[in-house]
Amino acid sequence: MGKLSRRMRKWTADILDLPQDVAYDLPRMIMIGDRQLYIENHRGVIHFSSEQLRLKLSKGELEVNGMGLIIRTIWTEEVFIEGRITSVNLKDGEGKR
């Protein structure tokens, strides 16, 4: 993304008072303790098991690790998981954390 494009997004977000997740196409996560995680603005499930959930994002991946993970609900751009969550990692497009 070019410098001018970033400036325009920031300016537009500031003028319209938009949340940054909307303006920059970022994931929004709500975590309740280590037992529940609600994620908005994902682009699909890459991998799911009872120990790991990997989601595609517009820029990179989100990796959730834990024990006894279950997908409670899933929609086009939202997912709600429960279990014992031990880590949440955000990776950029090159696989870096």
Cα–Cα distance for residue pair 97/91, rounded to 1 Å: 4
Pick the closest to residue 83 from 95, 60, 66, 64 (CA basis): 66
Q: Domains in the chain, ordered, with CATH?
A: 24-91 (2.60.40.2000)
Pick the closest to residue 48 from 39, 26, 27, 96 (CA basis): 39
Which 3-state string (H, E, C) describes 25-78? Answer: CCCEEEEECCCEEEEECCCEEEEECCCEEEEEECCEEEEEEEEEEEEEEECCCE
Task: Give the Cβ contact number of residue 67 at 10 Å.
Answer: 10
- Could you identify the residue written with the tokens 């993304």? 1
Cα dist from 19 to 24, 37, 53, whole Å = 9, 20, 26
What's the confidence (pLDDT) of residue 87?
Answer: 98
What's the confidence (pLDDT) of residue 9?
Answer: 62
Walk along the chain (97 residues) in steps of 10 and give the mean pLDDT of each run. 64 62 72 97 95 94 97 94 97 67
Q: In the structure encoding, which two tokens stand for residue 95, read together?
A: 């696989």
What's the confidence (pLDDT) of residue 8?
Answer: 67
What's the confidence (pLDDT) of residue 3?
Answer: 65
What's the confidence (pLDDT) of residue 59?
Answer: 85
What's the confidence (pLDDT) of residue 18?
Answer: 54
